[in-house]
Structure 1
Amino acid sequence: MKYLLLVCLASLVACTQTQEEKKTDKPNIVFIFSDDHAYQAIGAYGNKIAKTPNLDQLASEGMLFTNSFVTNSICGPSRATLLTGKYSHMNGYKRNDRTLFDTEQTLFSKVLQQNGYQTAWIGKMHLNSLPVGFDYWNILPGQGQYYNPDFISQPNDTTRYHGYVSDLITQFSTEWLEKRDTSKPFFLIVGHKATHRTWLPALEDLGAYDDVEFPLPDNFYDAYQDREAARQQDMSVEKTMRLKQDLKIHPDYEKDGVYNRFDPEQKKVFKDYYDKVAQDFEAKKLTGKALVEWKLQRYLKDYYATANGLDRNIGKLLDYLDKSGLAKNTVVIYASDQGFYLGEHGWFDKRFIYEESMRTPLMVRYPGIVEAGKKQDDLVLNIDWAPTVLDIAGAPIPADIQGQSFLPLLKGTPSTQVPWRKAAYYHYYEFPQPHHVYPHFGIRTDRYKLAYFYDGPDAWELFDLQKDPHEMSNLYGKPGTESITEDLKGQLKKLMEAYKDEEALKILAAAKK
């Protein structure tokens, strides 16, 4: 009897230990989420100028996604999609406006909590709502500021901190990791403000690219032939980019809220640098194309210098994970909320279905699961982020999530065995402010892209990405494209139906043929 009792007790202890091991063996997950960071501005994506050693290392240690796309290329809606795994028309957050994000709906952060994860969001959130589904949060109000920014923490306290925003976000992230409940696996979103307009580099990065002459994009002087929506936009380097606010040519350091946060030492260093930029600009007396190209160069120098601080802080966080021993059981995901134009089509900003804004960087390091240095060419969307995180965590994926976990792709399973999507659906809404980009929807396959712009131009665009990767030649209506156009329209309608975009279906039914 005593022997039997001892056996039972031993079995109970072993069972308890196994359950504890299973709980603690769940991988930790860090999701680093930047703002407006263009994939083409990262060394791992082929850029030879950008100084992104830490992102390049992350990509070399994990998987680099070459065809990662967003479903609505704009900041707030992309964050809403991250949290919900749903398209904008389903999660209710279509535009960057004063809409309050509905935190009562299914959020993957809540599911993680329910499945034993400790959760935190630190940095930029930008959804007009406070975080829900997070045990800890410390977020920027709205867009936030680069220098001496305010942060909102529980329960709803706003505190101003001295320093540069990227540094502070990393500091707060590592402090939370130090103080977390170590009996639970954790999920942490690190929401960076960089590289959002207006671009204010850290003091140590001022002038980091002053000796660089950036190559002019091949389509910088795009005439927008047969693309009326592109012609009517208001996001060009030539006409929209502002000398004073964007490029810091004699900004108002006393009245402008961006600069009156500076302490005297910060202001002196910053002002001394940009005063020299202004003096050089005035001495040149530029006009015409020379002026436009100077604006592009100045924009890119500031953009890339701001990205330097972002990459450096990603490196600090990765170093912390290494030194703390967390790296071996922590999945690190890096993505941006969308892509960005770095002079392509003569633009900055995002919004359009064209490649530079629809495509976003995505890399995943998953020790023991993802083979280092792998590239993944299948089409993934930001609706897939939430279900993938849940899948990694061993948590159930709610039925209303519209995305699909790409964990099988991370594990090396061919997409032919999953199976995986062959086309990506996109729908953008915000119009007319601030950049006069007409609302549109469309479909992208591995070779073609078909888009319809409504509420103004009412025009179709068709591109053969294989022959025309810069999307300059609209083939819609051209002889010989009838079959592919009909096929793409059929696929587009099926995706609208599958994703329950009723508004788009009505517009499609009434669209010009």
Structure 2
Amino acid sequence: MRPNIVFIMADDHAAHAVSAYGSKINHTPHIDRIAEEGVRLDNCFCTNSLCAPSRASILTGTYNHVNGVRTLSTEYDSSQPALPELLRASGYQTALVGKWHLGHGPAHDPRGFDHWTVVPDQGRYHNPVFIRMDGTQHTVPGYATNVITDLSLDWLDRRDPERPFFLMVQHKAPHRNWEPEARYLDLFEGQDLPVPETFFDRYEGRAEAARAAKMRVAEHLRIDDLKKLLPPGLTEDEQALWKYQVYIKDYLRCVQSVDDNVGRVLDYLDEHGLSEDTLVVYTSDQGFFLGDHGWYDKRFMYEESLRMPYVMRYPREIPAGGTNADLVVNVDFAQTLLDYAGVEPHPRMQGRSFRPLLRGERPAGWRESVYYRYWEHDDGIHHVWAHYGVRTERHKLIYYYAAGLGIPGASDRVFEPEWELFDLAEDPWELHNRYHDPAYAAVRAELEAELARIQAEIGDTPHVRADA
């Protein structure tokens, strides 16, 4: 029997804001329930920590140099082979509700779905506008996270009960600028939430890229992010901590509504006798800085941005309460879901099904490293420099080639390239760059060789300096 599939994805929901991952600041009982009744992936990573590029990789099972969505300014070609179309061709009913963020119009609209209704661009938190399949738009009163779930459950009510279904529930929340639902406006009031250990990071000894980035809680949050004026008489550090508390509380209030609505979906499956036969995924399109290194946003290859939450439940096959620490990336999602559905992946796909890992079977040649590439060099807002790198179980190597290469959305400014190397066992917060440390010379050589190997394997072109 082929499973139904419900794929729930939030936007910018960091793993360390999920209590199943040991969050110190948040409680997410419904997302945790998926992990408790299924499995939690502890080393799941994105290949480009930006909304549109990650979504394109999830749909197509390919890296961004293949699917073409390298920045927020490069739209998705929806004619390329992708997960929904393969499932629909095999007999699945398919639907998408919520955030798309891959462009609009005939060449970019969702494809492979029997039904879709999506928000334009980022969408609105309150009274969201939706685009229908016929191109018309309509406004739905209410809070976006609730409305997206309402529309998803409505489609489930109207589906053909004789056929398996694939439903993508894609939330806007908790994307900036973090507008909570009315009933949670006072959540966490009177509390001081824990501050990350790296909040006052000064970036000593690291690449200039870290200092150049403009996404510091202390300096770069806008009034529409904070929604209130800074109290007078605070020292510089006190101002930074005040802004952190305002930011993180609104972020977590938005997450609270996401968690509630995950619970609504799980309850629906229970009430309709579908839970046993339905594979449920909860994930986010990438990680997010929650004051870590003093930042909000994502983009960097540092752990908080690179890591994705991924919990999955399928009672017919996945034992309850399991965890898995193998290296998994978002290009694996499509092939994994196709594997459970009994559908052959498209030859163009570059990921691998991690279904065997969840049965306790490690396939021969399973990856020993993760490849990452951020293309949107020095954009006009966050100013994160272009970089790529490789992460193994213990180490991470990052090369800031710091050039836009003429790609839409990237600056034409060029900066001096730099390297970072981190020992994640000795330095989990990534504060000490060991690239020039003689004690790490052998590790550096191994990582550089692995970086070259994986780029050749997936067909990505290394950056070559013009003066080299």
Measured after TM superposition, the shift of residue 511 of structure 1 is: 9.5
Measured after TM superposition, the shift of residue 510 of structure 1 is: 7.2
Equivalent in the alignment of 1:11: none
2:389 to 408, 421, 442: 442
Contact 2:24 2:194 in 1 (8 A): no
CA offset digits 1:250-306 (Å, max 9, x no partner): xxxxxxxxxxxxxxxxxxxxxxxxxxxx5xx53x53241111110001101111111
Q: What secondary structure does 1:239 align onto?
A: helix
* 1:228 partnered with 2:208: yes
Measured after TM superposition, the shift of residue 207 of structure 1 is: 1.4
Runs of 4+ in 1 over 3 A off after TM superposition: 509-512
Q: Aligned partners of 1:154, 1:209: CA distance in 2, in Å?
A: 40
Contact 1:198 1:245 in 2 (8 A): yes
- Structure 1 unaligned regions, length at least 5: 1-24, 250-277
Q: Aligned partners of 1:498, 1:480: CA distance in 2, in Å?
A: 29
Q: Aligned partners of 2:132, 2:336: CA distance in 1, in Å?
A: 28
TM-score, length of structure 2 as denominator length: 0.94
Q: Aligned partners of 1:347, 1:299: CA distance in 2, in Å?
A: 11
Question: Which aligned pairs between 1:56-455 and structure 2 lie closer than 5 A?
Answer: 56-97=32-73, 99-128=74-103, 129-226=108-205, 227-242=207-222, 244-249=223-228, 278=229, 281-282=230-231, 284-413=232-361, 415=362, 417-433=363-379, 434-454=381-401, 455=403
Equivalent in the alignment of 2:458: 499
Equivalent in the alignment of 2:407: none
Contact 1:65 1:376 in 2 (8 A): yes
Equivalent in the alignment of 2:410: none
Which of 308-317 and 417-426 deviates more? 417-426
Q: What secondary structure does 1:245 align onto?
A: helix
Contact 1:458 1:511 in 2 (8 A): no
Q: What secondary structure does 1:30 align onto?
A: strand
Contact 1:402 1:499 in 2 (8 A): yes
- Structure 2 unaligned regions, length at least 5: 404-414
Q: Aligned partners of 2:359, 2:8: CA distance in 1, in Å?
A: 21
2:432 to 452, 473, 480: 473
Equivalent in the alignment of 1:268: none
TM-score, length of structure 1 as denominator length: 0.86
Q: Aligned partners of 1:337, 1:160: CA distance in 2, in Å?
A: 25
Amino acid at match of 1:478: D
Amino acid at match of 2:88: Q
Calculate percent identity across the aligned residue pairs.
45
Q: Please tell me whether Structure 1 or Structure 2 has the larger radius of gyration of its CA atoms.
A: 1
More helix by share: 1
Equivalent in the alignment of 1:9: none
Taking a change above 3 Å as real, the CA distance of residues 511 and 478 of structure 1, as seen in their structure-2 partners, is farther
Contact 1:39 1:361 in 2 (8 A): yes
CA offset digits 1:167-217 (Å, max 9, x no partner): 001100000001012221100100000100000010011111113212221
CA offset digits 1:433-463 (Å, max 9, x no partner): 2200000000000000001001213001000
Equivalent in the alignment of 1:273: none
| CA RMSD, 1 decimal | 1.3
Contact 1:125 1:191 in 2 (8 A): yes
